[in-house]
């Protein structure tokens, strides 16, 4: 596992006041991972956003006015159907 914010000498954490501190900058690990993906032929979508299933709050509403329960005979009727 890589550490995006490596420790400085003597174990001091990096200071956010240092101009070189940039959390959006790619680390060496990120660049190596991108190089491997390119080597293996992985392609990123043009928009750069992975297509995922929508959250259930974003799904369209379903009209349940004509909903009916599924017609299924009881287990007794199904068992009796075997002997008919």
Question: Using the 8-state DSSP alphabet, how is residue 47 labeled?
Answer: T
Task: Give the per-residue pLDDT at 33.
Answer: 87
Task: Give the per-residue pLDDT at 50.
Answer: 61
DSSP 52-74: -PPPGGGSPP---TT--------
pTM: 0.30
Task: Give the per-residue pLDDT at 44.
Answer: 67
Task: Give the per-residue pLDDT at 8.
Answer: 60
Q: Which portions of the chain are predicted below pLDDT 70?
A: 1-23, 44-51
């Amino acid at each position: 596992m890589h550490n995006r914010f490596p420790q400085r000498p003597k174990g001091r954490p990096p200071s956010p006041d240092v101009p070189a501190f940039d959390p959006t900058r790619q680390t060496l690990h990120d660049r190596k991972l991108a190089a491997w993906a390119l080597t293996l032929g992985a392609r990123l979508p043009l928009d750069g956003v992975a297509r995922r299933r929508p959250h259930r709050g974003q799904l369209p509403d379903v009209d349940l006015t004509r909903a009916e329960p599924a017609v299924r005979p009881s287990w007794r009727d199904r068992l009796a159907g075997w002997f008919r």
